[in-house]
């Protein structure tokens, strides 16, 4: 008789699942070594089931045949010993377009140059929409296209209602929108509500004491070295202008910096750093200029405007709000809203937990995933990303390098398996689908203002350019990015082997297959159970409640081969046929192989995706706490 223990942390819920027939006996239960241990753990407390700190107890429940059987109760205090978590279906409703899609994030300077000047542009995106759609991706998010002196990579905006000539014209942008609509795709646009360029017309008027524009900015004497970048803030919206043109939503950058403490006092040094020669953002404790409560009020206003726009006019479709806030997990979660739908803020508050430079341990990634999922407000929709174009400085000592550089090209595929098959909306940074890596550069080659300000001796720790280099299309000159004689940043020298057209590069086919698998009902609306096996293997399953089939994923975060991995017990999937659906580039298996889930081999940094089908029903004993007593409920799970 085999048992599988599946503790599930939903509040204080814990589950024990078994293959036992519906009619079973106390003797059958007590014969299980696992249950004997559990009985031993809780037996001391049988007389204290109603106590305020009750740790366990025994309750009898009736089976379908009136036989009485012992329901073993576990307390929530025991649960942390198990490295596993479970979440119910992400939603019971029909998925909206932004929940069903993969978002492909483009840094426009580096995607495709259409006119030979070495800088990516709007026409380069338009001409390659078929490539993006061919990935299975239906939504693109384009970083700042606004007119700008380009001191800070386009985020120093001088005109919020015009396209920067480097990228093309407004007519080019309208053509892009038309093609996106024709191909039934969506476009999300960057929005920078926190600051403008000092060359913006409003700021220039403010300098001349224009009564209206003067109030657009917060004025104070600077107390920082003259070499530091000064970006004056603004506090207005331009969204309707772009919505009327046809964009489908906005990614609001640096939202947690939009308000400052009214006293504008100098911020204190961060005690984590010695302060002697610190050039990073986190060298100061930014409690007065970050995460102020007024931020949420303003964003809630933006959300209400978007929602009203979405329900008016001819095209009644959701226009979404993405928020970017480099802050703690707890603070980032707040951008979902205040706990009810009327106070909703962001549809997608960017989840940066997997972007950080995590140690290569399954338990570390498990914690990063569970920290987000366990803190979601009711009805909130998860999101996942593993790479970003933005700077290292705002995440402390964490490294925002491309995932293939931060970890390995093989683990890049495995992490795509995770973010594309977990519940929620995944965001792919351009080039991740082909395994692009950071590009080495000299100080003279970098363009990023933060790298230049850091100086020749420290630009490596400050520049954001290494993960922003041109997309690698083929093995031709400049990797097919441009027909010109130069590129704005150097192309990675590995482009002959790592490019979109290279058939030997398996990253792209793995990515496409993963995106295609997202159409499975188990991925769109299935429950999720995730478990760590040892310290190196992470595995999870997605399945619809009441169904016998589902998707299982296993990833080896270690640098050595793992053998005899038992995902059958880890995921509590018994008497099931496991078929390999997707493999990593190192796998010893082939797609279509039938495998023994009790003895899986994973190569270093390798990942596997399985489809499984089981004909055996199981019993789930759901034990949950009603303060102060513990109650047991018998549930049947097919």
Q: Which helix (H) or strand (E) holds 29?
A: helix 26-30
Give residue 77's pLDDT band: very low, low, confident or very high (50, 70, 90): very low
Query: What digits encode the pLDDT tens for the residues 126-168?
Result: 999 999 999 999 999 999 999 987 666 566 788 888 999 999 9
Mean of pLDDT values over 189-209:
69
What confidence score (pLDDT) does residue 213 get? 72
Query: What digits encode the pLDDT tens for the residues 327-340?
Result: 889 999 999 996 54
Output the DSSP codes for 534-556: TTTEEEEEEE-TT-SEEEEEEEE
Which of 37-51, 222-236, 238-252, 261-275 tops mean pLDDT?
238-252
Mean of pLDDT values over 72-101:
66
Q: What is the CB neighbour count within 10 angstroms for residue 28?
A: 17
**pLDDT of 631 above 60:** no
**pLDDT of 290 above 90:** no
Q: Collapsing DSSP states into helix, strand and coil, what is residue 627? A: coil
**pLDDT of 618 above 60:** no
What confidence score (pLDDT) does residue 285 get? 61
Q: Supply the pTM of this predicted model.
A: 0.79
Span of 453-457, 541-545, 565-569 with lowest mean pLDDT: 453-457
Q: Collapsing DSSP states into helix, strand and coil, what is residue 524? A: helix
Between these two residues, 305 and 396, which has the higher pLDDT value? 305
Q: How far apart are CA 216 and CA 202, in angstroms?
A: 8
Give residue 507's pLDDT band: very low, low, confident or very high (50, 70, 90): very high
The CA dihedral of 548, 513, 423, 403, to the nearest 10 degrees, is 140
**pLDDT of 314 above 90:** no
Burial (Cβ within 10 Å: 0-12, 13-18, ≥19) of residue 504: exposed
What confidence score (pLDDT) does residue 85 get? 80
In the chain, % of residues over pLDDT 90: 53
Task: Please report, for residues 92, 405, 429, the alpha-carbon distance to residue 435 in angstroms, rounded to integers and kept in the order given.
Answer: 35, 9, 11
**pLDDT of 350 above 80:** yes
**pLDDT of 13 above 50:** no
Between these two residues, 351 and 263, which has the higher pLDDT value? 351
Contact present, 248 and 317 (Cβ < 8 Å): yes
What confidence score (pLDDT) does residue 237 get? 73
- Helices (H) and strands (E) in the chain — how many of each? 19, 25
In the chain, % of residues over pLDDT 70: 70
Q: What is the CB neighbour count within 10 angstroms for residue 217?
A: 19
Burial (Cβ within 10 Å: 0-12, 13-18, ≥19) of residue 150: middle
What confidence score (pLDDT) does residue 158 get? 81
Q: How far apart are CA 268 and CA 577, in angstroms?
A: 60
Task: Please report, for residues 183, 297, 399, the alpha-carbon distance to residue 429 in angstroms, rounded to integers and kept in the order given.
Answer: 21, 30, 15
CA gyration radius, the chain: 27
DSSP collapsed to 3 states, 274-299: CCCCCCCHHHECCCCCCCCCHHHHHH
Contact present, 207 and 339 (Cβ < 8 Å): no
Mean of pLDDT values over 502-512:
93
List of E strands, 75-133: 84-87, 103-106
List the structure tokens of 225: 């070295």
**pLDDT of 17 above 50:** no
What confidence score (pLDDT) does residue 284 get? 67
Task: Please report, for residues 12, 16, 329, 375, the alpha-carbon distance to residue 371 in angstroms, rounded to integers and kept in the order given.
Answer: 16, 23, 7, 6
Mean of pLDDT values over 198-208:
67
What confidence score (pLDDT) does residue 264 get? 63
What confidence score (pLDDT) does residue 210 get? 76
Give residue 61's pLDDT band: very low, low, confident or very high (50, 70, 90): very low
What confidence score (pLDDT) does residue 40 get? 33
Task: Please report, for residues 8, 477, 601, the alpha-carbon distance to residue 384 in angstroms, rounded to integers and kept in the order given.
Answer: 22, 34, 27
What confidence score (pLDDT) does residue 19 get? 37
- Looking at 135-267, list the stretches that DSSP marks H as alpha helix, in order from N- to C-terminal side: 170-182, 201-207, 211-214, 239-245
Q: What is the CB neighbour count within 10 angstroms for residue 126?
A: 19
Mean of pLDDT values over 93-115:
96
What confidence score (pLDDT) does residue 411 get? 94
């Amino acid at each position: 008789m085999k048992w599988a223990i599946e503790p599930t942390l939903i509040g204080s819920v814990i589950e024990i699942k078994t293959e036992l027939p519906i009619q079973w006996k106390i003797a059958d239960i007590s014969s299980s070594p696992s249950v004997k241990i559990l009985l031993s753990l809780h037996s001391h407390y049988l007389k204290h089931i109603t106590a305020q700190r009750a740790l366990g107890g025994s309750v009898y429940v009736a089976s379908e045949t009136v036989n009485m059987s012992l329901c073993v109760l576990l307390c929530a205090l025991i649960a942390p010993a198990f490295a596993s978590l479970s979440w119910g279906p992400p939603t019971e409703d029909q998925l909206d377009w932004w929940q069903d899609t993969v978002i492909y994030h483009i840094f426009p300077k580096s995607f495709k140059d259409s006119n030979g000047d070495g800088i990516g542009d709007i026409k380069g995106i338009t001409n390659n929409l078929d490539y993006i759609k061919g990935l299975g991706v239906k939504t693109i998010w384009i970083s700042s296209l606004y007119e700008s002196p380009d001191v800070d990579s386009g985020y120093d905006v001088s005109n919020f209602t015009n396209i920067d000539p480097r990228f093309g014209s407004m007519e080019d942008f309208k053509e892009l929108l038309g093609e996106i609509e024709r191909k039934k795709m969506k476009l999300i646009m960057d929005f920078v509500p926190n600051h403008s360029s000092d060359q913006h017309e409003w700021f220039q008027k403010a300098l001349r004491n224009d009564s209206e524009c003067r109030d657009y900015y917060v004025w104070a004497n600077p107390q920082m070295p003259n070499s530091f970048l000064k970006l004056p803030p603004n506090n207005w919206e331009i969204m309707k202008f772009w919505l009327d043109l046809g964009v489908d939503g906005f990614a609001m950058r640096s939202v947690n910096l939009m308000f400052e403490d009214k006293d504008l006092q100098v911020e204190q040094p961060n005690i984590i750093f010695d302060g002697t020669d610190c050039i990073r953002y986190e060298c100061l404790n930014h409690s007065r200029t970050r995460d102020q409560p007024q931020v949420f009020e303003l964003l809630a206003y933006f959300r209400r405007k978007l929602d009203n726009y979405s329900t008016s006019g001819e095209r009644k479709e959701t226009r979404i709000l993405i928020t970017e806030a480099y802050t703690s997990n707890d603070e980032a979660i707040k951008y979902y809203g205040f706990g009810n739908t009327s106070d909703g803020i962001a549809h997608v508050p960017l989840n940066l937990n997997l972007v950080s430079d995590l140690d290569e341990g399954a338990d570390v990634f498990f914690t990063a995933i569970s920290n987000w999922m366990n803190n979601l407000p009711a009805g909130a929709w998860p999101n996942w990303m593993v790479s970003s174009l933005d700077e290292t400085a705002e995440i402390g000592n964490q490294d925002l390098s491309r995932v293939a550089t931060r970890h390995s090209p093989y683990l890049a595929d495995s992490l795509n398996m995770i973010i594309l098959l977990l519940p929620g909306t995944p965001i792919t940074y351009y080039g991740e689908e082909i395994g692009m890596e950071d590009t080495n550069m000299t100080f003279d080659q970098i363009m990023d203002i933060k790298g230049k300000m850091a100086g020749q001796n420290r630009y490596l720790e400050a520049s954001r350019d290494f993960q922003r280099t041109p997309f690698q299309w083929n093995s031709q000159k400049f990797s097919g990015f441009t027909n010109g004689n130069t590129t704005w940043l150097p192309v990675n020298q590995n482009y002959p082997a790592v490019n979109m057209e290279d058939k030997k590069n398996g990253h792209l086919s793995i990515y496409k297959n993963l995106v295609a698998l997202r159409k499975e009902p188990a991925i769109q609306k299935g429950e999720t159970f995730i478990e760590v096996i040892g310290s190196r293997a992470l595995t999870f399953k997605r399945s619809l409640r009441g169904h016998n089939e589902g998707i299982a994923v296993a990833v080896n975060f270690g640098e050595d081969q793992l053998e005899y991995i038992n995902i059958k017990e880890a995921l509590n999937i018994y008497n099931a046929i496991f078929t390999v659906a997707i493999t990593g580039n190192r796998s010893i298996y082939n797609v279509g192989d039938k495998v023994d889930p009790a003895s899986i081999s994973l190569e270093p940094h390798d990942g596997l995706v399985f489809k499984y089908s089981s004909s055996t029903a199981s019993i789930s004993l759901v034990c949950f706490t009603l303060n102060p007593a513990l109650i047991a409920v018998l549930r049947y799970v097919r």
